[in-house]
Each structure stands twice: as structure tokens, then as C-alpha cells.
Amino acid sequence: MSVEYKKTVILPKTDFPMRAGLPKMEPTLLEQWKNEDLYGKIRGVSADREMFVLHDGPPYANGHLHIGHALNKILKDVITRSQQMLGKNAVYVPGWDCHG
């Protein structure tokens, strides 16, 4: 016995296409982001504020990639963004040197 679930799911009718069309949309989005230069504007507005620099170590220096790495990066992003929103000139500096 097979049940056709398509008839049991009630979804809203929208004008959105079923496919995102990323290969077509990506160049447009990249150009838009380049023209907006949001990061440059934030850096410009924040230039005279108190500095908050979060230095990060190498991404995966010890062992295999695991969920702790993702949590670490997410927390550092949240900290940097929250400090920026608190009115500081918050800059994230990625690091690649694990030899001091």
C-alpha cells in the first residue's frame, strides 16, 4: 500500500521558484556584496572607537576536525560581533602560525 503524501501536506502558494539557481545567482550576489562593501563601511565608522582584537590560533593544528572546532569558531564570531555592536572597533585576526 502506498500513500501519496503530496496531497496531505498543505504548503503556501508562493512566487518563489522551486530551485534556487545558485550558479546563476552567485555572480549577481557577489557583485552586489562587492558594491555594498558593508565590511569596509563598518571598519570606517569604527576607526576612532576603542579597539577590541580577537586573535585566533591556527584552525586545526592538533588532530582531526571535530564539532569543537565549529563551536570555537562560532563563539569567536559571536564575541567579535557583540563587541562591535557594543560600540567597539572589533576585529577578528585569524592566525596560522603555531610556532609562537
What would the pLDDT profile of 3-62 be if each residue is shown by its tens digit?
888 788 888 888 887 788 889 999 999 999 999 999 999 999 999 999 999 888 776 666
Q: Kindly list the domain boundaries of the chain, sorted by start residue.
A: 21-93
Query: pLDDT at position 10, please?
Result: 85
Runs of H (alpha helix) within 1-100: 22-36, 38-46, 67-85
Query: pLDDT at position 20, please?
Result: 84
Q: Is the pLDDT of residue 1 over 70?
A: no
The answer, as to whether pTM is greater than 0.75, is: no
Query: pLDDT at position 59, please?
Result: 67
Query: pLDDT at position 61, please?
Result: 67
Cβ atoms 88, 49 nearer than 8 A: yes
